[in-house]
Structure 1
Amino acid sequence: MKIFETTLRDGEQAAFIHLKPRQKADIAVSLEAMGVDIIDAGFPVASTLDWEGAYAIADATNKVQLSVLARHIPEDIKAAYSAVKHQIDRSRLTTWVMPYELYTRYANDTNIYKRVIDSSREAVSYGRDIFPAVQYYLVYSGNRDRNFLRELACEVADAGARCIAIADSQSTLNPDSLASLVSFIKENLPTGIDISIHCHNNMGLALANTVAAIKAGANQVEATIGGMGDAGGNTALEQILAYASYFEKDNPLFECGCRLDSLYKIACEVSKLTGFQFGSNQPFVGPDTFTVETGIHHSLAQNIQNSTFDPKFIGRNIQSTVGRHSGLAGLREKLQEIGVETSSINFHILYSKVMEASEKEGTVSDDTLLRLVKEM
């Protein structure tokens, strides 16, 4: 499973996110150290800052593969090339043609399918003349005729594309329909063509869809830190990596070279630089995801750790907090966490005092807890 990391391009398309070239370079260095296979360096023709961002990413990294996005227009492709030409040996062009057959103004154009195919072939052929590799996006895949998508995929592969990306741009596919589409397209492609999966998360299905696509034959995943991206965002990098390491650790389809232990640190770096806030209990990266108050979760975390996902794998730890949902196990764990000797404490009495305090404070602070211990 190859990881195509697109935080610095598709992730940055989230509203209010604007990274400077130097910031993109810094994040790219961290992603390269983490072990992602490909970094999406951006859409150079979009603006001067986008061009400078792609250039800075190429300049700051050493070995990771780079992708630059361009429409099928030659000027776009030239701009993409100019941004990474100093690292062209490890760069790829990623291009696409819009799904013009879906546009109302082309409803009566009997040649529109041929025009999309011809433009796509020309873009891929032109890109192959100046880039070592080309990836082609089947954009809006969930909205288009699957027979045409298969024909288009075969045509661009014949023109030289080495990777076909199936993009569920509008979140209109579910795991079954996406898996079926992957299999349908893959069975007619030449051997050796990668299939990438690019899922948006408007319906909350990005992880499930990505997993289904890999099992159906896709071998490249496009993802962003924290699921950043426009509207509902993208497949979250940490979620697919955690899924692979926990549920599919013995499945060769999900093998990848990413180091999970640095993931949370990178997520915090991205959040700090962008101002993008993860949900409080967002899986793996939320600030309170591994904070436990409920008594049963305290005891279960202690007693059956081997059958649950260990947060240490992504550089985190379970944190305890005390409140009216807590039990004795959580209270004891919290005292040990803040350095209190517990051997002489009557926990049943302390627990009663904590419950009284929680009725006033809700969550009982460390200072309050220490005061209650001293008063016993």
Structure 2
Amino acid sequence: MNNRIFIFDTTLRDGEQVPGCKLNKKEKIELALELEALGVDILEAGFPISSPGDFDAVNEIAKLVKNATVCGLSRAVQKDIEVAAEALKPAARKRIHTGIGTSDYHIKAKFNSTREDILQRAIQCVKWARNFTDDVEFYAEDAGRTDNEYLARVVEAVIAAGATTVNIPDTTGYCLPHQYGEKIAYLINNVPNVDKAVLSCHCHNDLGLATANSIAGVIAGARQIECTINGLGERAGNTSLEEVVMILKQHQSTLGFHTNINARQLNPMSRKVSETMRMPVQPNKAIVGANAFSHSSGIHQDGFLKDTQTYEIIAPEEVGAESSKIVLTARSGRSALAYRFQKLGYAFTRNDIDVLYEKFLQVADTKKEVSDDDLVALATAHQPIPVEA
């Protein structure tokens, strides 16, 4: 099997569904060009029929993006598909992403329909989309809770109708990683024409398992991951692009997968999306959080200062982050204190540090973090010997 994992970015569509994250046309275009430069393979630019503004934004992105495939979302409705096709018309590479819910929850409650009717509607929407492009992706919404045997029937039918990618969404973030992986494996082993299409993971984070499920999916045979910068998305969010990319990179020797993402742009891209979409990144967020490369525990700081790999499996520069930080708190030790004093230009003996450490702890117990100004005050009172420049 091909070990290239295609990265399908839906920051501009699913990510924009977060309350307060609505983008105007100019912002969408700016982010689209940044995402293309990052190296995403497929860029889901929006849901063209949803509003005239979204249609215009998708249409303009289709004109400007040259390397990534530009994708537009639609429901299994002929008008949706026609509008998406019109918006995507200028694209050098275009994809229509259409589909319908396949779980019994959706079939009965949402559509008041039957499995057979949904199967026929799935086939029909793919055929409509194929009138406009050879690159058609079908999504089986709520596949995570869809009976595997029925899901396999749907997947086989839409591939036969012309779908070149089939999206297997865990729409509600329900699956455990082994369950999602087994679902993908079931499709690989039970859909006769599965080799004619790429299976795609689209996992939500309602239980905090989106990244784990996506990785389980590619291990089982999926070759596309649908994700967003900073994990933005409906409700608790989507699979985080930066997380899956770095997991695949860190474990390339064992998993054998690779992507075309320029990892050094991950932190700048994260900041750009955060600022543009007005959505702060939690400090402890993997890869791109403010604390991702910060060390405050004395035990951790001592090990890190002896060898960075004791507590960091990724070098900050690999993902475009600032240098690692030694943060001084009441939990910090003497080695971290000595390191920070040295960075400020002070040379102290071990005995000096022992004396200063007791005074440092008195300061640290009164505040959350000891600043450089606090250290300068301690050093000045101790009459230090400055290091010669």
Name the TM tier (shorter chain).
over 0.9
CA contact (8 A) 2:204 2:239 kept: yes
Give the secondary-structure state (helix, strand or coil) at the position aligned to 2:196.
coil
Residues 247, 13 of structure 1: CA spacing in aligned structure 2 closer, same or farther, 3 A cutoff?
same
Q: Which residue of 2 aligns with 1:314?
A: 319
Q: Which residue of 2 aligns with 1:63?
A: 67
Q: Which segments of 5 or more consecutive residues in structure 1 lack a partner in the other structure?
A: none
Q: Which residue of 2 aligns with 1:375?
A: 381
Equivalent pairs counted in the alignment come to 371
Q: Which residue of 2 aligns with 1:30?
A: 34
CA contact (8 A) 2:210 2:238 kept: yes
Q: How does 1:292-331 map to 2 (within 5 A)?
A: 292-306=295-309, 308-316=313-321, 317-331=323-337
Q: Hey, what's the Cα distance between the residues in 1 that align with 2:148 and 2:342?
A: 59
1:172 to 174, 192, 195: 174
Q: Which residue of 2 aligns with 1:352?
A: 358
Residues 198, 106 of structure 1: CA spacing in aligned structure 2 closer, same or farther, 3 A cutoff?
closer
CA contact (8 A) 2:102 2:143 kept: no
Q: Please tell me the residue identity of whatever aligns with 1:45.
A: I
RMSD: 1.9
After TM superposition, give the deviation of residue 169 of structure 1 in Å.
Answer: 0.4
TM normalised by structure 1 equals: 0.93
Q: Please tell me the residue identity of whatever aligns with 2:71.
A: S
Q: Please tell me the residue identity of whatever aligns with 1:120.
A: A
Residues 129, 107 of structure 1: CA spacing in aligned structure 2 closer, same or farther, 3 A cutoff?
closer
Matched, 1:341 2:343: no
Q: Hey, what's the Cα distance between the residues in 1 that align with 2:341 and 2:242?
A: 31
Give the secondary-structure state (helix, strand or coil) at the position aligned to 2:31.
helix
Query: 1:312-368, CA deviations, whole angstroms, 9 ceiling, x for partnerless residues?
Result: 21112211221211112211232344x323256821122111111112223111111
Q: Which residue of 2 aligns with 1:140?
A: 142
Q: Which residue of 2 aligns with 1:263?
A: 266
2:152 to 146, 150, 153: 150
Give the secondary-structure state (helix, strand or coil) at the position aligned to 1:184.
helix
Q: Hey, what's the Cα distance between the residues in 1 that align with 2:53 and 2:289?
A: 30
Q: Hey, what's the Cα distance between the residues in 1 that align with 2:54 and 2:217?
A: 31
Q: Hey, what's the Cα distance between the residues in 1 that align with 2:264 and 2:109?
A: 51
Q: Please tell me the residue identity of whatever aligns with 2:144.
A: G
Q: Hey, what's the Cα distance between the residues in 2 that align with 1:24 and 1:334?
A: 42
Q: Hey, what's the Cα distance between the residues in 2 that align with 1:361 and 1:208?
A: 37
Comparing 114-123 with 210-219, greater Cα deviation is found at 114-123
Q: Which residue of 2 aligns with 1:128?
A: 130
Q: Hey, what's the Cα distance between the residues in 1 that align with 2:69 and 2:111?
A: 40
CA contact (8 A) 1:260 1:314 kept: yes
Q: Which segments of 5 or more consecutive residues in structure 2 lack a partner in the other structure?
A: 383-389
Query: 1:259-314, CA deviations, whole angstroms, 9 ceiling, x for partnerless residues?
Result: 11110000000000111111121112222222222111112223343462222211
After TM superposition, give the deviation of residue 81 of structure 1 in Å.
Answer: 1.2
Q: Hey, what's the Cα distance between the residues in 2 that align with 1:279 and 1:173?
A: 24
TM normalised by structure 2 equals: 0.90
Q: Please tell me the residue identity of whatever aligns with 1:99.
A: T
Q: Which residue of 2 aligns with 1:284?
A: 287
Q: Please tell me the residue identity of whatever aligns with 1:172.
A: Y
Q: Hey, what's the Cα distance between the residues in 1 that align with 2:337 and 2:60?
A: 50
Query: 1:92-149, CA deviations, whole angstroms, 9 ceiling, x for partnerless residues?
Result: 100012337434469996xx22211111111111111111310000110122221111
After TM superposition, give the deviation of residue 9 of structure 1 in Å.
Answer: 0.6
After TM superposition, give the deviation of residue 33 of structure 1 in Å.
Answer: 1.1
Give the secondary-structure state (helix, strand or coil) at the position aligned to 2:215.
helix
Q: Hey, what's the Cα distance between the residues in 1 that align with 2:62 and 2:361?
A: 57
**Kindly, what percent of the aligned residue pairs are identical?**
28
Give the secondary-structure state (helix, strand or coil) at the position aligned to 2:37.
helix
Q: Hey, what's the Cα distance between the residues in 2 that align with 1:63 and 1:362?
A: 47
Residues 315, 249 of structure 1: CA spacing in aligned structure 2 closer, same or farther, 3 A cutoff?
farther
Residues 106, 141 of structure 1: CA spacing in aligned structure 2 closer, same or farther, 3 A cutoff?
closer
Q: How does 1:95-106 map to 2 (within 5 A)?
A: 95-99=98-102, 101-102=104-105, 103-104=107-108
Q: Hey, what's the Cα distance between the residues in 2 that align with 1:189 and 1:50?
A: 38
